[in-house]
Amino acid sequence: QVHLLQSGSEVKKPGASVKVSCKASGYPFTGYYMEWVRQAPGQGLEYMGRINPYSGDTNFAQKFQGRLSLSTDESTNTAYMRLNSLTSDDTAVYFCARWHHVSRPHYFDYWGQGTLVTVSS
């Protein structure tokens, strides 16, 4: 069965970077986009960006342009999200999610368990 396993919680200081991993299993890794979504405390879901593990192509929400990088390692079926220049506003739970697009409907069908990133001095 499909499973997305994310790395553990992180505590970072303002100005630092964080890298979160998402190990996929149970499906052909390069066949589906991997998306990244975050949820700050008491806030809604916020879309960050996506990567095509087959081509390496990425697409980012404008808010994260220049500060977000996404990558994948096909040898380990793992996707990575790196966010730079952290501020307290980046304190959130970060999710990876698979985008189902092979057939209708197109939607986020599987989610990782979430990684809490806390930014504090």
Partner 1 sequence: DIQMTQSPSSLSAGIGDRVSFTCQASQDAVIHVNWYQHKPGKAPKLMIYDASNLEEGVPPRFSGSGSGTHFTFTISGLQPEDLATYYCQQYSRLPLSFGGGTKVEMK
Contacts to partner 1 by CB under 8 A: 35, 37, 44-47, 49-50, 59-63, 97, 104-111
For residue 107, the SS3 value is strand
Nearer CB in complex with partner 1: 55/121? 55
> Whole-number minimum distance, CB 112 to partner 1, in Å?
9
Query: Whole-angstrom Cα distance, residue 45 to residue 40?
Result: 8
Per-position DSSP letters for 5-35, written without gaps between them = EE---EEE-TT--EEEEEEEESS-GGGSEEE
> Whole-number minimum distance, CB 51 to partner 1, in Å?
12
> Whole-number minimum distance, CB 73 to partner 1, in Å?
23
For residue 64, the SS3 value is helix
Nearer CB in complex with partner 1: 54/108? 108
Nearer CB in complex with partner 1: 42/121? 42
Nearer CB in complex with partner 1: 12/100? 100
Please name the residue ranges forming H helices in 1-121.
none
